[in-house]
Structure 1
Amino acid sequence: MCYRIALNFEDGVTRFVDCKKGEKVLDAAFRNKINLPMDCSDGVCGTCKCRAESGAYDLGEDYIEDALTEDEAAEGLVLICQMVPSSDCVLSVPVTAASCKTGQQTFAATVTRIEPHHDAAVVLELSVDDGDAAPAFLPGQYVNIDVPGSGGHRSYSFSSAPGEHRLGFLIKKIPDGLMGNWLARAKAGDRLTLTGPMGSFYLREGDGPLLFLAGGTGLAPFLSMLEVLARAGSRRHIHLIYGVTRDLDLVLVDQLAGYASRLPNFTFATVVADPASDHPRKGWVTQHMPDEILAGPGVEVYLCGPPPMVDAVRHYLDEQGIRPASFHYEKFTPNLPLKATA
């Protein structure tokens, strides 16, 4: 039996290692050629201290108070030289991946489907070769996708669940954009190179209510999260607000309706900012956040959208004196159009 340990480094790189039953995390990392920080490996110095974001584990009793205090352990800090997992775990490592002599992982995938949604977005589906391991990532994370022939890349969140050979992405259409121009001529069978996973925006374990706030193609990471929650048979109360600029920007609403049938406590609402729209809910996401959810105990807020939306939500929560149990957000900036050259 092995447990999968996600190591999230402070520079956004995530690496996964399989930890054998009874094996310490530090030993599993070294076995995978990841040199996590350590000096003594005996629970004495505290150099290997990390934060356990999720999972079950045992720290034993062979470390001293100076290395890890009782209060620190209660807050989720661990000594990875003593930590023996008893489930999959997520660890926050307070150093860069490069300092641990590791880095981002690169893998190849094949285009299987390109589906435009008007002029708003494109659904891109890729397939990893059957002989290769399905990429591991945390629901909500992203990868860099190299744009063939350009020397550049673009960053996109997974819309699919982790551990699958099929990878999904929701890509905003940018007029004359680098990826958009390539997608316009791409076809099934084309190959792409991906680097990742990366990012600290991912679904945490818990049992409290969830408020998901998505702006435009910021819906993508929530589709990944919802799929994971649905497969786990989650009974958590989840409400998603999906805000867009125009009616045509509302895409994949049918998928949200599908999750509403699979998750007994999931509801969602769509909001259109365009005042000329006939949509029943107009305006901004902040105008449609239910008070009963925000005021409820233990609510966890996840927000992904363009910078103005993220800033507006943060300002609104501060202005209203609302303090969620946790607040995780990710800003994304659409890539600029290509510039003409003389």
Structure 2
Amino acid sequence: MCYRIALNFEDGVTRFVDCKAGEKVLDAAFRGKINLPMDCSDGVCGTCKCRAESGAYDMGDDYIEDALTEDEAAGGLVLTCQMVPSSDCVLSVPVTAASCKTGQQTFAATVTRIEPHHDAAVVLELAVDDGDAAPAFLPGQYVNIDVPGSGDHRSYSFSTAPGERQLGFLIKKIPDGLMGGWLAGAKPGDRLELTGPMGSFYLRDGEGPLLFLAGGTALAPFLSMLEVLARADSQRQIHLIYGVTRDLDLVLVDEIAAYAARLPNFTFATVVADQASDHPRKGWVTQHMPEDMLSAGGFDVYLCGPPPMVDAVRHYLDDQGIQAASFHYEKFTPNVPLKAIA
């Protein structure tokens, strides 16, 4: 038996290693040619200290208090030289990937489908080559996709679940955009180079209610999260608010609605900012927050969208004194690589 360990480095790079039953994370990383910080490897110095974001594990009792205090252990800090996983885990590593003599993974994929949605967005589907492993990532993360012939790349969140050979992305149409220009002439069979996964915006383990707030094509990471939750038969209360500027910007609503049949406690609302719209819910996502969830508390917020939307939601929650159990957000700027903020 092996457990999949995601190592999230502070520069946004994520690498995965397989940890054998009874094996320590530090040893599994070294076997995978990733040199995690270490000095003594005996639970004495504390150099290998990381934070366990999720997963089950055993730390044993072969380390000293100076290396890891009781308070630190209670707060989720671990020593990778002593940590033995008993499930898949996610670790936050407080150094860059380069300092651990590792880097971003690069892989190739073939275009299988390009489907425009009016002038708002394009659904891009890619197939990983036969014989290559399906890319590992955390639901919500993104990759850099090289734009052929440009020497540049654009960043897009996966809209599909991890472990699939068919990868999906939702790409905003931008007049004279670099990727949009290439897609206009692309066809099935064309090849693309991808680098990743990256980003600290991903779905965490938990049992409490989830409030998903998506703006425009930043719907993509939430589709990945919903698919993972549906496959796990999640019983969590989940509410998604999907906000756009115009009616034509509402895409893949049928796919969202399909999750209501697979997730017993999932609801969603679409919101259009254009006041001239006939949509039943107009305005901003902050005007359509579920009062029952906000008043009950204990919910986790995941927010992804254009910077003005992200900033508006953050200020709204602060101004209203609304305290979430956890708050994770990413600002989505279509013209430049994504920047993972929290």
The offset of 1:334, in angstroms, is: 2.0
Question: Partner residue of 2:217?
Answer: 217
Question: Partner residue of 1:314?
Answer: 314
- Structure 2 distance, partners of 1:31, 1:248, is 50
Question: Partner residue of 1:196?
Answer: 196
- Structure 1 distance, partners of 2:90, 2:28, is 14
What letter is aligned with 2:33? K
Number of residue pairs matched by the alignment:
336
- Structure 1 distance, partners of 2:200, 2:295, is 26
- Within 5 Å, give how 1:129-144 maps onto structure 2: 129-144=129-144
Which has the higher mean CA deviation after the structures are superposed, 171-180 or 289-298? 289-298
Question: Partner residue of 2:249?
Answer: 249
- Structure 1 distance, partners of 2:186, 2:47, is 49
Question: Partner residue of 1:89?
Answer: 89
Question: Partner residue of 2:12?
Answer: 12
Question: Partner residue of 1:65?
Answer: 65
The offset of 1:291, in angstroms, is: 1.7
- Structure 1 distance, partners of 2:63, 2:130, is 44
- Structure 2 distance, partners of 1:108, 1:217, is 23
Map Cα deviations across residues 35-60 of structure 1 (whole Å, 9 max, x no partner): 00001000000010000000000000
1:325 matched to 2:292: no
Question: Where does the alignment leave 5 or more consecutive residues of structure 1 unmatched?
Answer: 337-342
Question: Partner residue of 2:290?
Answer: 290
- Structure 1 distance, partners of 2:223, 2:101, is 33
- Structure 2 distance, partners of 1:96, 1:238, is 34
Question: Partner residue of 2:43?
Answer: 43
Give the root-mean-square deviation of aligned CA atoms: 0.6
Map Cα deviations across residues 112-165 of structure 1 (whole Å, 9 max, x no partner): 000000000000000001200000000000000000011010000000000000
- Structure 2 distance, partners of 1:280, 1:161, is 31
3-state SS of paired residue (1:160): coil
- Structure 2 distance, partners of 1:291, 1:281, is 15
The offset of 1:302, in angstroms, is: 0.2
- Structure 1 distance, partners of 2:118, 2:294, is 34
The offset of 1:86, in angstroms, is: 0.4
- Structure 2 distance, partners of 1:248, 1:121, is 9
Question: Partner residue of 1:180?
Answer: 180
- Structure 2 distance, partners of 1:20, 1:141, is 25
TM-score (norm 1): 0.98
CA contact (8 A) 2:109 2:127 kept: yes
- Structure 2 distance, partners of 1:208, 1:45, is 36
3-state SS of paired residue (2:296): coil
Question: Where does the alignment leave 5 or more consecutive residues of structure 2 unmatched?
Answer: 337-342
- Structure 1 distance, partners of 2:40, 2:322, is 44
Question: Partner residue of 1:29?
Answer: 29
CA contact (8 A) 2:297 2:323 kept: no
Question: Partner residue of 2:152?
Answer: 152
3-state SS of paired residue (1:295): helix
TM-score (norm 2): 0.98
The percentage of counterpart residues that share the same residue type is 89
Question: Partner residue of 2:339?
Answer: none
Map Cα deviations across residues 157-184 of structure 1 (whole Å, 9 max, x no partner): 0000000000000000000100000000
3-state SS of paired residue (2:122): strand
- Structure 2 distance, partners of 1:69, 1:178, is 51
What letter is aligned with 1:36? L
